[in-house]
Chains A and B, each alone.
Chain A
Amino acid sequence: MSNSKALFGMWMVFLAALVAAGVLTAFVVLSQGLGSYNQSDIVFWGLPMTGYLFFGLTAAGLTFLSSLPTVFGLKHLYPVAKKAALLAFAMLLSGLLCKGLDLGPLSTVSNLIWVAFSPNLASPIWWMAVLYGFYLLLVLLKFRKMHMGQWQESGGYQVAVSALLLAGFSFVALCLVFGTVAARPTWLGASMGLTFLVTALASGLAALILVSYFQGGDNTSVLDDLAKYLMYALGASLVLFLFRLAVAASADMKGFEGFLGMSGSLSFNLELWAGLVVPLGMFAFKSVRQSSGGKVIASFLVLVGMFAGRMEQILSANVVPMGVQAEGMPSMVSYMPSLTEWGVIALAFGLSLGIYSLAVRSLNLDAMPD
């Protein structure tokens, strides 16, 4: 017991250090702007945007998973529904923080007020900002209803349905942000949206398996089911990854050079091997899939690979200079995130894991309806 308390204390100190580093970063960014980021007008979105995509999409996957028992009647998943709902909230909050720290100094961030007073309904970013705002509130409300034991009351059901719908709508808005950029074919079209869909589910499942394991329940039938779903999601993700690769390699179209050019990069290879091939290969063996170690290692690899994948998905469309930016530049530019950018990610991980870890101790996340 005292060992467990000591471990928890060390874990919280570690998370507090991450948050402290992130708060320092936030102070630098909000007071001075993004000058300390290693970004440019060519690589205009980098690691903080990667964090936003990773946490935002994982939250979408988790919201869907927490809705499976409450909305779709898959009652065997009730034991993880409350955990998934809280983790979705924590991840979404962290994702939005990453995006907030990717805007600029406080003077720029305060211009967000114009989202309300000067809306452009034709802009996918406007819809994304508004829908994600409401989505965050509803996920929190959904968790509150669960915590108060109102799982099957009409109010609880309506909130669960609304949260699921908002997760869906905000997911579509996020896909449109990328899918409507005609200038960058790597993002353009429905392919990226489909990739987001299956990988969101995969990263949500991996996150849920990991937290469920470390929370104490290791080899329950629910975790076996989640591992099976993760295997299917990884299979679909791999098919879509290979589809993107085939299109990029065979299409006689400028704009895919970035994706192909990244094939030697760390993010591309982590995404493919650590995020897809190795965990899928592990889960192909039932014995590995049903073992605690197999689940934990594969889920961890999936999350690492998915994070790297979000970076690949962002960078593949902006490492190649666009138009006049090409003057005097190589055909592809390199990008290495700065310490400040890693500080944003540290804040996001520290905050989301901190919220969850504290909730484990005080909010009975294993609760289920009677």
Chain B
Amino acid sequence: MTTYAMVIDRQKCVGCGACSVACKNENNLPEGVFWSDKLSETSGTFPNVRFDYLPTLCNHCENAPCVEGCPTRAMHKLENGIVMHDPDKCIGCRYCIANCPYGVISYNWRKPFDKWGNEDVLIKNCTTSPRDMVTDIGGKGVPYSNPERGATLPDIRPAGVVEKCTFCDHRVKRDLLPYCVEACPSDARIFGDLDDPKSKVSQLLGKYKPYRLKEDLGTEPRVFYIRSFNPGAYVRSKGGVR
């Protein structure tokens, strides 16, 4: 058996957002939709302030409430633990959004990349229309679409269905890493098989005490976080009462 999981090392994460950009390119995500996202927080009082950055994505939960609640099994689990979505079975009820405690599922309220379907040209007999540009380049919906995404999902998901991170199942099938993992410049995202004791994820989870988001809900997320960003040392002291 294989159970894919991801470890995010927050000590290594520099908060550059390359994961989000890579994900958008790889999966042809519409405007405003992020399968790989982040939660940031500024805390403290000037000048003693701190900035925290938490990369997020679908947690591919073992007990996924989105899967349990989906009436048509459009949201389903693959044998390798990936929570997958089939837009051809989605009835758009958005009950998965209601059930997901992490807020990582998006609904396509409009037709994605609708502006690229526009046939108007800015200057007649001079510039090309967005639609012509898409047609000339051979893209699907957008000129810069990635055709590889179409191996397991529609290249661009239509209006009226939900979409979310798939751990880049189309790449994993070809023994490639999810693209956010590939693109991370500081190797803060580590992907692998949780059932293989020799995998890097298993080793890291044994070495560092991991934590997961909203563990009290019993969803058993498959995205683990280790360590936290340590901005440096401080002058040794026992504090004081005044």
Interface footprint category on B: 35 or more
- In the complex, 29 of the A-B residue pairs with CB atoms within 8 angstroms, ordered by the A residue number, are A33-B110, A33-B160, A34-B107, A35-B111, A39-B109, A44-B97, A44-B107, A45-B98, A104-B92, A104-B161, A107-B160, A108-B91, A108-B158, A108-B159, A108-B160, A111-B72, A114-B74, A115-B91, A124-B69, A126-B71, A181-B69, A182-B65, A317-B98, A322-B103, A324-B37, A325-B103, A326-B39, A326-B103, A327-B37
In the bound complex, residues from chain B placing their C-beta under 8 Å from that of A177 are 95
Within 8 Å of chain B (Cβ to Cβ): is A364?
no
In the bound complex, residues from chain A placing their C-beta under 8 Å from that of B158 are 105, 107-108
Residues A35 and B93 in contact, CB atoms below 8 Å apart: no
How long is the Cα–Cα vector from A241 to B46 in the complex, in angstroms?
Answer: 43
The one of A32, A40, A45 that contacts B111, using a Cβ cutoff of 8 Å: A32
In the bound complex, residues from chain A placing their C-beta under 8 Å from that of B99 are 181-183
Residues A35 and B102 in contact, CB atoms below 8 Å apart: no
Within 8 Å of chain A (Cβ to Cβ): is B213?
yes
In the complex, how many angstroms separate the beta carbon of B230 from the nearest chain A beta carbon? 23
In the bound complex, residues from chain B placing their C-beta under 8 Å from that of A107 are 158-160
In the complex, how many angstroms separate the beta carbon of A184 from the nearest chain B beta carbon? 7
How long is the Cα–Cα vector from A107 to B87 in the complex, in angstroms?
Answer: 10
In the bound complex, residues from chain B placing their C-beta under 8 Å from that of A324 are 37-39, 56, 102-104
Residues B101 and A41 in contact, CB atoms below 8 Å apart: no
Residues A120 and B97 in contact, CB atoms below 8 Å apart: no
How long is the Cα–Cα vector from A218 to B64 in the complex, in angstroms?
Answer: 54
Residues A111 and B98 in contact, CB atoms below 8 Å apart: no
Within 8 Å of chain A (Cβ to Cβ): is B106?
yes
How long is the Cα–Cα vector from A122 to B40 in the complex, in angstroms?
Answer: 36
List B149-179 residues whose CB lies under 8 Å from chain A: 158-161
B75-106 interface code vs A (CB 8 A; 1 in, 0 out): 00000000000001111111101111111111
Residues A114 and B72 in contact, CB atoms below 8 Å apart: yes
Within 8 Å of chain B (Cβ to Cβ): is A369?
no
In the complex, how many angstroms separate the beta carbon of A311 from the nearest chain B beta carbon? 16
Nearest opposing residue in chain B for A110, CB measure: B91
Residues B159 and A105 in contact, CB atoms below 8 Å apart: yes
B136-151 interface code vs A (CB 8 A; 1 in, 0 out): 0000000000000000
Residues B71 and A125 in contact, CB atoms below 8 Å apart: yes
Residues in B lying within 8 Å of A, measured CB to CB: 37-40, 56, 65, 68-74, 88-95, 97-111, 158-161, 213-214, 217-218
Nearest opposing residue in chain B for A122, CB measure: B68
The one of A34, A40, A182 that contacts B101, using a Cβ cutoff of 8 Å: A182
The one of A33, A114, A122, A126 that contacts B159, using a Cβ cutoff of 8 Å: A33
Within 8 Å of chain B (Cβ to Cβ): is A118?
yes
Within 8 Å of chain B (Cβ to Cβ): is A216?
no
List A11-33 residues whose CB lies under 8 Å from chain B: 32-33
Residues B71 and A321 in contact, CB atoms below 8 Å apart: no
Residues A118 and B100 in contact, CB atoms below 8 Å apart: no
Within 8 Å of chain B (Cβ to Cβ): is A109?
yes
How long is the Cα–Cα vector from A32 to B90 in the complex, in angstroms?
Answer: 16
Residues B103 and A323 in contact, CB atoms below 8 Å apart: yes
The one of B56, B72, B98, B213 that contacts A115, using a Cβ cutoff of 8 Å: B72
A-B complex: 3 closest residue pairs judged by Cβ atoms? A104-B160, A323-B103, A108-B160
List A339-366 residues whose CB lies under 8 Å from chain B: none
In the bound complex, residues from chain A placing their C-beta under 8 Å from that of B92 are 34, 103-104, 108-109, 111
In the complex, how many angstroms separate the beta carbon of A48 from the nearest chain B beta carbon? 11
16 more CB-based (< 8 A) A-B contacts, given A103-B93, A114-B73: A32-B159, A42-B103, A45-B94, A109-B91, A118-B74, A125-B70, A181-B98, A182-B65, A182-B101, A182-B217, A322-B100, A323-B101, A323-B213, A324-B102, A325-B103, A327-B40
In the bound complex, residues from chain B placing their C-beta under 8 Å from that of A33 are 108-111, 159-160
Residues A120 and B72 in contact, CB atoms below 8 Å apart: yes
A116-137 interface code vs B (CB 8 A; 1 in, 0 out): 0011101111100100000000
How long is the Cα–Cα vector from A114 to B87 in the complex, in angstroms?
Answer: 11
